[in-house]
């Protein structure tokens, strides 16, 4: 039994729909690690929590396909531990079925993986961002809603078009095939607007539809302000038993504001900034402050441009990668050509391009910088311009030449494998910081000028990070300061409030109250990341689910206040 990579079975989902529409930048990115097997016993031996996992088509299925808490409780009982107090009175059972489940298949199965809900609560849809901590929070919400509050809950990654199943199970905590998904859409406010238009009934949607974004950073302040519109306070909306009055008030409010409720803190504190690997700092400590980042030739010489697998074979390899060398083992497959790092196959390579060549371009040469998509909370172009820092990103994403999350992680891993200097934008909490902790590649924060209230306010309200006009993206010098540490937000669609108050009090779904009040403890995500990295079984499949499930089980009593 080994961990391997394969093409997993795929339900009709966002990737297919968006390819058909030609919207490649909005497609779903799927991590494809898996645990191979010959028998179901191999799966039980490989996974700490075996649950409902079976060997199917040569790979182990998700042990939590039927739920987290019951699997964990049975495992604890087998180890002689008592049931936690909260679970003794919460009547934990199989999770409730949702729109990802095949009702007929579940009904005919000898071992049912979900149960029909006792109450007819409308399904909740969560729209994670395109980074890992947002997915982990979404899984925490999904477990509590599905298994404790008995509310059908799925993750929405953006499936277009009418379908019997409006969402794909890929990326769900309960996904049978353990897939970990990344969407290239950071903040899909349109999904929340769709939920409001449909009065919360996303099952009826023919467009992507969601009730909540669980993690929203300061870079989305402008979008959030536009979504809130003129009225930023709904506390004056008092709900009577008159359903028609409720819908009239909220429908008008939604039309005025863009269909989201005032945001709440999600419990986490987020930090953004520029980073170097520790080995780069040890080579030149002056790079840790913006005062040491103004020498054009020094930066261009030190921070070279990362090279895709295909470009390495064309521009660097002596024989188009037909034979192995210090950086590559073989030619790339079609799917690997645009990768900057492939484990055990391509180490990555950093080379001098015309942009780094100060001999040919003495006045315009720059060092390379890894910038994320413009929709993320990055103001790097403005910060570098106004601080006279000659660094520039060279990624494929317009208009800021950014890189996708997947490519960013590949470039950092390539720098680690080749011990090449790299300058990059990153954030915390995130597992990459922990992955390289206490190693020569440990992330070291670079400091710019101190953040001020005027600087932060200007960037969040006046700058257009995604404008095709560079002048709009760099704005004015007031926006040149460093990032600040701040509380992260969650944003809920007014559609969830509408659907909640349509029902009589005794029949109302607990989802709105839970999602409005729940706060994940500040250090929880760091703890989950640490458990995830320590498992080492199936990093982008089973391991993250095991870490989240164990954390929820160990801390379930803390959720009593929210449910």
3-state secondary structure 424-468: EEEEECCHHHHHCCCCCCCEEEEECCCCCHHHHHHHHHHCCCCCC
Q: Which two tokens stand for residue 252?
A: 């008008």
User: Does residue 251 share a domain with residue 288?
Assistant: no
Q: Does the structure show a pLDDT above 90 at 11?
A: no
State the pLDDT at residue 328. Answer: 97
SS3 content of the chain, % helix, strand, coil (to 5): 40, 15, 45
Establish if 340 belongs to a structural domain: no
Residues 254 and 364 in one domain: no
Is residue 225 predicted with pLDDT exceeding 80? Answer: no
pLDDT digits (tens, 9 = 90+) for 250-272: 444 454 545 777 778 889 999 99
pLDDT digits (tens, 9 = 90+) for 413-457: 999 999 999 999 999 988 899 899 999 999 999 999 999 999 988
Which of 450-454, 470-474, 498-502, 543-547 shows the lowest per-residue confidence on average (mean pLDDT)?
Answer: 498-502
pLDDT digits (tens, 9 = 90+) for 303-340: 999 999 999 999 999 999 999 999 999 999 999 999 99
For 306, the token pair is 């990362």
CATH code of 423's domain: 3.40.190.100
> Of 255, 166, 160, which Cα lies nearest the Cα of 204?
166
Report the Cα 344 to chain-centroid distance in Å.
Answer: 25
Domain for residue 391, yes or no? yes
pLDDT of residue 90: 55
DSSP per residue over 250-304, as a string? HHHHHHHHTSBPPPEEEEEEEEEEEEEEHHHHHH-GGGGBGGGS--HHHHHHHSP
Best mean pLDDT range from 350-359, 454-463, 532-541:
350-359
Whether residue 361 sits in one domain with residue 244: no
Name every residue whose Cβ is closer than 8 Å to that of residue 84 and which is 6 or more positions away in sequence: 73, 553, 556, 557
Q: What are the residues whose beta carbons fall under 8 Å from the beta carbon of 76, sequence distance 6 or more?
A: 82, 83, 553
User: Is there a single domain that holds both residue 374 and residue 276?
Assistant: yes
**162 pLDDT more than 60:** no
As a whole number of angstroms, the distance between CA 446 and CA 113 comes to: 49
Q: Are residues 106 and 51 in the same domain?
A: yes
Would you place residue 150 in the very low, low, confident or very high pLDDT band (cuts 50, 70, 90)? Answer: very high
List of residues 6+ apart from 9 with CB closer than 8 A = 57, 177
**CA nearest 169: which of 72, 61, 70, 93?**
61
Report residue 244 as tokens. Answer: 């028609």
Q: With CA atoms as reference, report the closest residue to 198 among 189, 186, 207.
A: 207
Residues 191, 257: contact at Cβ < 8 Å? no
Q: Which two tokens stand for residue 529?
A: 């990341």
Same-domain check for residues 416 and 513: no
Give the predicted TM-score (pTM) of the model.
0.79
Q: Which residues form the domain of 372? A: 270-307+349-485
Domain identity same for 375 and 503: no
Compute the average pLDDT of residues 460-475: 89
Domain match, 70 and 143 both: yes
Q: 252 and 123 share a domain?
A: yes
Q: How many domains does the chain have?
A: 2
- Residue in 193, 236, 237, 184 with CA at minimum distance from that of residue 212: 193
């Amino acid at each position: 039994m080994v961990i391997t990579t394969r093409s997993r079975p795929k339900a009709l989902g966002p990737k297919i729909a968006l390819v058909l529409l030609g919207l490649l930048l909005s497609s779903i990115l799927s991590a494809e690690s898996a645990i191979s097997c010959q028998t179901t016993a191999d799966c039980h031996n490989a996974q700490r929590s075996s649950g409902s996992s079976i060997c199917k088509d040569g790979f182990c299925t998700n042990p939590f396909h039927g739920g987290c808490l019951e699997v964990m409780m049975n495992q604890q009982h087998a180890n002689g531990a008592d049931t936690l107090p909260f679970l003794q009175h919460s009547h934990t059972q199989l999770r409730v079925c949702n729109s990802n489940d095949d009702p007929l298949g579940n009904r005919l199965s000898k071992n049912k993986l979900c149960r029909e809900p006792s109450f007819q609560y409308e399904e909740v849809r969560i729209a994670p961002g395109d980074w890992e901590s947002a997915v982990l929070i979404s899984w925490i919400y999904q477990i509590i809603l599905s298994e404790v509050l008995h509310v059908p809950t799925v993750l929405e990654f953006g499936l277009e078009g009418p379908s019997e199943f409006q969402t794909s199970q890929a990326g769900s905590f309960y996904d049978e095939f353990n897939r970990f998904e990344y969407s290239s859409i950071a903040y899909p406010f349109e999904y929340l607007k769709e939920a409001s238009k449909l009065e919360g009934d996303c099952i009826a949607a023919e467009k992507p539809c969601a009730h909540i974004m669980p993690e929203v950073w300061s870079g989305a302040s402008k979008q959030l302000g536009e979504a809130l519109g003129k009225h930023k306070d709904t506390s004056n909306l008092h709900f009577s038993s008159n359903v028609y009055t409720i819908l009239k008030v909220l429908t008008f409010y939604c039309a005025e504001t863009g269909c989201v409720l005032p945001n709440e803190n999600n419990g986490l504190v987020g930090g953004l900034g520029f980073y170097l690997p520790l080995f780069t700092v040890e080579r030149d400590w002056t790079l840790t402050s913006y005062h040491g980042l103004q020498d054009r030739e020094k930066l261009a010489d030190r921070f070279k441009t990362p090279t895709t697998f295909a470009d390495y074979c064309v521009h660097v390899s002596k024989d188009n990668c037909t034979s192995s060398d210090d950086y590559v083992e073989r030619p790339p497959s079609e799917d690997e050509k645009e990768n900057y790092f492939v484990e055990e196959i391509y180490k990555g390579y950093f080379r001098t391009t015309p942009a780094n060549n100060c001999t040919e371009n003495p006045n315009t040469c720059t060092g390379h910088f890894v910038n994320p998509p413009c929709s993320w909370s990055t103001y790097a172009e403005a910060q570098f311009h106004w601080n006279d820092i000659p660094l520039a990103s060279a990624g494929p994403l317009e208009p800021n030449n950014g890189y996708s999350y997947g490519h960013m992680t590949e470039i950092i891993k390539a720098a680690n494998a080749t011990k090449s200097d790299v300058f990059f934008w990153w954030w915390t909490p995130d597992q990459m910081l922990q992955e390289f902790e206490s190693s020569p590649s440990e992330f070291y924060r670079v400091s710019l000028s101190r953040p001020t209230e005027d600087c932060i306010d200007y960037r969040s309200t006046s700058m257009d990070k995604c404008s095709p006009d560079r002048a709009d993206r760099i704005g004015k010098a007031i926006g040149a300061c460093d990032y600040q540490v701040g509380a992260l937000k969650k944003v809920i669609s007014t559609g969830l409030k509408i659907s909640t108050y349509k029902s009589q009090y005794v029949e109302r779904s607990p989802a709105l109250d839970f999602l409005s009040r729940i706060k994940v403890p500040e250090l929880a995500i760091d703890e989950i990341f640490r458990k995830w990295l320590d498992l080492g079984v199936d990093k982008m499949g089973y391991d993250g689910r095991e870490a989240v499930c164990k954390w929820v089980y160990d801390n379930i009593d803390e959720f009593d206040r929210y449910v």
